[in-house]
Every structure is written in C-alpha cells, then in structure tokens.
Amino acid sequence: MFHSILFDFMLIGALGVGSQWIGWRYRIPAIVVMSIVGLLAGPIFGFINPADDFGELFDPIISIAVAIILFEGSLNLDFREVKGLGKPVMRIVTVGAILAWLLGSLTAHYVAGLSLAVAFVIGGLFIVTGPTVILPLLRQAKLKPRPAAILKWEGIIVDPFGALLSVFAFEIIVFFMEDDVTADALLFFFMASIFAIIIGYLLAKGLGFMFERGHVPEFLKSPVMFASVILCFTLADEIAHETGLLAVTAMGMTLANMHISSIGDMRNFKENISVLLVSTIFVMLTASLSVDTLLQILDLNIIAYVLLMLFIVRPLSIWLSTIGTDLSVGERILVGWIAPRGIVALTVAGYFANVLSDAGFEDASILTSLTFALVFATVCAHGFSIGWLAKKFNLANDEQPGVLIVGGSSFSTGLAKALRELDVPTMITDSSWQRLESARKEGVPFMREEILSEQTEYHLDMTPYEYMVAASELDSYNALVCNTFIPEIGRNNLYQLTLHNRRGDDLEDMGHTIGGRLLFNEQATWERLNEKVEAGYVFRKTNITEQYPFDQYSKELHPETLLMFVLKRSGKIAFFTHKNKPKVETGDVVVSLMPPSKEFKKIQQKITEKREEEKENQ
C-alpha cells in the first residue's frame, strides 16, 4: 500500500467528505459513518495511522482545526436569537454543567475505577457536547426552533469551558499534590483565561472596525478572518494551554453581535471550512486509535460507566437544572437525552492522558479508551434516536417539505392554496399589507416581513420549508432573494418567475449563476400569471394512474394550460421550469393552471349526468 503523507491527506479527505455525503444521502448521522470508516481505515485494516504518519504535526493540525470549528460555531451566537430562552440556557450552562461535572466525576471514580484526581479532570471534559456533533444532528432532525436553539447554545458555550474546567481541576490537583507548585501558578492560569477572553474581544473589535471602514477589501475579508482566528488561538494557547478555545469563542461571539454587514458571507465561508474540517479531523482521530484501545473499550467497568452517563448523569443534571423554567416535559426529556460528545472531548482527553500519566497517575492510561467509548456510544445512540424522540414529543417538523412563497399576489395565493390542499406546508411573505390582501381573504398563512431583512430570521422559522419561490413583480428582487438563500436552501430548490423581456430590470444578459431556476415557460411572467388567475383560470390537481398515464394527460391538455409542479409519491416537489420537465410516474399528482372553460364544461357535464340519473330513478 502507498505510504506517504500526501496519500494520507487524500484518503482522509475522501473518507471524511464521502461520509458526509453518505449521511446526507441515506439520512443517517454522518459522524457515525465517519467513526466507522476511520476505524476501518486505521486500526482494523491499517491503511493509515495519522498520529504516526504526521508525527509532530498531528497535534497542531487537530488543535487549529478545533479552534476554527469552535469559532465558526460561536459566530452564530447572536444574542437576539435567544430571546425567551435566556433562563433555560443559563441554567443548563451553569447549574447543569456543574451538576454534570460532579455526577460524572463521581461516576468515573466509583464505576470506572479512576482515582478522584483523574475522575474530576475527565469529568469536566465530559460535560462538553460540542457544536461539531450537535449541529449536524440538529440539521438532520429538523427540530423546532426552541429545543434546537437550546441544544445549539449549550453545545457551543459549554465546549470551551469543559476543557477549561478540566484544566482548572488539573491545576488544583497538582497544586495540592506537589510541594513545588505555588498559588502563583494557579493565579496565573486564572489570569491567562481572562486575558484570552480579552484577546478574542479586542481582535474581533479590531476586525469589525477594519471591515466596516473599508480597510479590508471584500476578497480578503474571509482570508483575513481565517488568519486572525489562528492568531487568536495561538496567542492565548501559548500563554496557557487550552485557553485558546476560550479566546476564539469570545472572538466569534463578539463578531456575531457586532452585526457587521458582510458577516453573512464570512459565515458561509466558515461553515464550508468547518464541514470539511469536521469530516477530516474525526476520521484522523478514529484512524489513529490502536487495537489495544478498542479492546479496552469492552471492559465491563467502562461499559457500565457509559451507560450511567447516558441514562442517569445527563438526564438528571438537565432535569434538576431546569426546575422552575418554562420548558415542557418533552423538551426537558429531549434536551436531557441528547448530549453527543465529539472532537473536543477526544482531542483534549488525549492531551490529559499524556499529562496525567507523566504526573504519575497510572490510571490515566485508560482515558483514551473511556473517551472513545463515550463518544461512539453517544453519537450512535443520540444520532439514531433524536428524530424518533423529537417526533414522539411533537418537537420536530415532521410534515412533508414545504414551500415559502416570496411576494403576495392573486397568483401566489392560488399557488399556495393548491399546495396546502395537498398538505404541503406553505406560507406567503411580503412587506406590503396590500399585496397580502388576497392571502388574508383566502385564509392562506402569511407573514408581513421583508424576507431580506436581518430581523426576519429571528421571526420566521425556516425549518419546514425546503423550497422557495420568488414571485414578486420585480425580476431583480426575485434574483436577489434567490441568491441570498442559496446557503440555507440550496440552488436546486430556489425558483423565480419568468423574466420580463421589456422591463428596466431585464436580467436576460446576466450569468446563469444569478437568481433561481426560472419557472414554467417563457410566457409565464408575473403579469400573465396574475391575469390568468383573475380571469378565472383554476389550479387543477390530477392523479396519475396506470389507467390514466401522464402521456394521455398531456395529450388532453388545453393549449393554454400551464403545468405548475408535480407532487411525488415521496412527498418531494418538482416544479416545471424552462430547462427541466420532471419525470411523472404512477402515483404522482400533477398540478396545472387551466382555463376556466374546461372547468365549466366538467361542471355542466356532472349536472347533466345527475339530472339523467334522477329521471331514470323516477
């Protein structure tokens, strides 16, 4: 087999990104797939061993990657998002974290057999859930906003503090156990932690000032941010180990709440980098485990410890810490169960295993096995159960994929009604009450908001909507809306009405990367569609069966009929566009906009048939 660092990088990248794709394609937790392929490539088949192959570069690579991942997560911590969640979140990250630390440490001592010193060090680390594992699970499970926000904030806030709590515990243990350690060393570490926060805060403020004043060009903003994160982490970590995580968290949170105009573009860049790093780093860590470590996981004490952490320690700490909050029983059970550990736990546990062993704690040798057992067990258990549990307590959006229509009009209302009659979640959003008048009269869900406003994301839950139709009368606005929502919805699920050919905002000459996919046909402009609806055209739903196939349906269509979309048996929606005519199969439902004449003929025919039946009965 090949033996080179280049080959290792290639294989790790392919396995990591491939695992993400498999997780997306088959709707299973990607981190479970990453763990399995890492074990197969590393200790089981021996294709790679990143820890040995990379040598001294292994630890710095992992540390910088974790710092970037943590920064990207904290960049989403806008305090406006937790309005109404303040008390539960504060209780969980303070009282809940301390309870989890104490209970976890005592469990590690009395069940796993660790000394009190080692148990309290590792107990602090195991309060970490971590954004690297919790955020992918939340995206997959499609939780409702409230429980999703609580789990996300807990994961990101507690992530650096779990590592710091372990370091504090270690420093205190060393202080009491060794004569040559003074109070100055302990004080220094506390001061270094405060200094790390200051470094992160000042760097964020400085970057924000430079970005807003135009001192950094747009094409350099993401690279400058990327380099600044590494600088922030390295400065703090060189002063005191593990304070770098606190520094980058402070930096990300400060930037998130400065509301910089270009922060969205940088956040998208960081998310892409974070997905790549999570994929590769997790494979690196699992591939670096030894066979002895894997066998040690089967120890009965370790298994008992993992089970108690899953079913007693976590649920009890959450249940006690949320007493007196407005969380429902279902929310408390869900939050109390979901606590997957991930990259930070594995990396920092490896660090402490070496440090504690050097300090004379022989039982620290099992920390790697203990950590991986907990990580793998929680990732599998929580990854495969979060969807089921969320549905059980009605905390997931379990409806079929919905459609968000931007722009109120007669046509938008008719399209929304047709979708809702097929049980597709649908909402119309517009900034004008007047344009929403038809939606209000017809009882179609609507929201009077400017979809491009930054405030809208805190009022509108986007989780139920996998598709967006930009249906305003302005082509340029429709294109801007579609471009804005590419990161959230994906280019393939963004649609806009046909472009006008003789309007001031004509976009025909613009590149194909601008805007969404053009709906229906070239004549289906905003004016034409609304004219048809106001002239009495109707939205008709037709079931395609073996007796009435799509070919026959197509032949019988009125020349003026517009095919709108197909509702597939799977619940997916496929719109008819300029360049895409969906494949229609038996069991699908086709929705079209038909002239009223055919509708009237059918009604008249039914009336005639009914009269004939009545005459026969007489």
pLDDT tens-place string over residues 310-359: 999 999 999 999 998 888 898 899 989 988 887 667 767 766 777 777 77
As a whole number of angstroms, the distance between CA 610 and CA 209 comes to: 76
Say how many domains are in the chain: 2
In-domain check, residue 614: no
Answer yes or no: do 536 and 481 share one domain: yes
> For the ranges 263-277, 389-403, 421-435, 598-612, which has the lowest average pLDDT?
598-612
pLDDT digits (tens, 9 = 90+) for 50-63: 888 888 888 788 77
Query: Considering the chain, what is the average pLDDT of its residues?
Result: 81
> For the ranges 174-188, 242-256, 417-431, 514-528, which has the lowest average pLDDT?
174-188
Grade residue 250 by pLDDT with cuts at 50, 70 and 90.
confident
Answer yes or no: do 337 and 427 share one domain: no
Model-level pTM? 0.65
Task: Name, in order, each residue with C-beta under 8 angstroms of 314's C-beta and a sequence gap of 6 or more.
Answer: 100, 336, 337, 339
As a whole number of angstroms, the distance between CA 264 and CA 253 comes to: 14
Answer yes or no: do 363 and 406 share one domain: no
Indicate if the pLDDT at residue 507 is higher than 70: no
Grade residue 81 by pLDDT with cuts at 50, 70 and 90.
low
The amino acid occupying position 212 is E
Answer yes or no: do 362 and 497 share one domain: no
Answer yes or no: do 462 and 367 share one domain: no
Grade residue 262 by pLDDT with cuts at 50, 70 and 90.
low
Looking at residue 607, its pLDDT comes to 54
Grade residue 489 by pLDDT with cuts at 50, 70 and 90.
confident
Q: Pick from 327, 357, 392: which residue ends a domain? A: 392
Indicate if the pLDDT at residue 202 is higher than 90: yes
Looking at residue 347, its pLDDT comes to 66
In-domain check, residue 335: yes
Indicate if the pLDDT at residue 286 is higher than 90: no
Cβ contact 592:539 at 8 Å: yes
For the chain, the 3-state helix, strand and coil shares in percent, each to the nearest 5, are 65, 10, 30
Indicate if the pLDDT at residue 76 is higher than 70: no
Report H helices in 142-262. 145-177, 183-212, 218-239, 243-256
Strands of 465-470's sheet, edge to edge?
Answer: 446-448, 426-430, 402-406, 465-470, 494-496, 517-518
In-domain check, residue 381: yes
Grade residue 400 by pLDDT with cuts at 50, 70 and 90.
confident
Answer yes or no: do 338 and 225 share one domain: yes
In-domain check, residue 12: no
- H or E segment and range at residue 564: strand 562-567
Answer yes or no: do 456 and 381 share one domain: no
Q: Pick from 364, 392, 420: which residue ends a domain? A: 392
Answer yes or no: do 243 and 352 share one domain: yes
Answer yes or no: do 351 and 445 share one domain: no
Answer yes or no: do 123 and 177 share one domain: yes
Summarize the confidence of residues 413-437 as an average pLDDT.
89
Q: Which domain holds residue 514?
A: 402-608
Answer yes or no: do 460 and 505 share one domain: yes
In-domain check, residue 28: no
In-domain check, residue 10: no
Q: What is the CATH number of the domain that holds 592?
A: 3.40.50.720
In-domain check, residue 138: yes
Q: What is the CATH number of the domain that holds 225?
A: 1.20.1530.20
Indicate if the pLDDT at residue 242 is higher than 60: yes
Looking at residue 617, its pLDDT comes to 66
Task: Out of 216-225, 293-302, 314-323, 341-350, give the one with best mean pLDDT.
Answer: 314-323
As a whole number of angstroms, the distance between CA 311 and CA 578 comes to: 54
Answer yes or no: do 255 and 353 share one domain: yes
Task: Name, in order, each residue with C-beta under 8 angstroms of 472's C-beta and a sequence gap of 6 or more.
Answer: 406, 407, 430, 478, 481, 497, 526
Grade residue 522 by pLDDT with cuts at 50, 70 and 90.
confident
Looking at residue 132, its pLDDT comes to 63
Cβ contact 361:115 at 8 Å: yes
As a whole number of angstroms, the distance between CA 227 and CA 68 comes to: 10
Looking at residue 548, its pLDDT comes to 86
> For the ranges 215-229, 255-269, 359-373, 499-513, which has the lowest average pLDDT?
499-513
> For the ranges 192-196, 237-241, 417-421, 590-594, which has the lowest average pLDDT?
237-241
Grade residue 196 by pLDDT with cuts at 50, 70 and 90.
confident
Grade residue 448 by pLDDT with cuts at 50, 70 and 90.
confident
Q: Pick from 360, 392, 424: which residue ends a domain? A: 392
In-domain check, residue 20: no
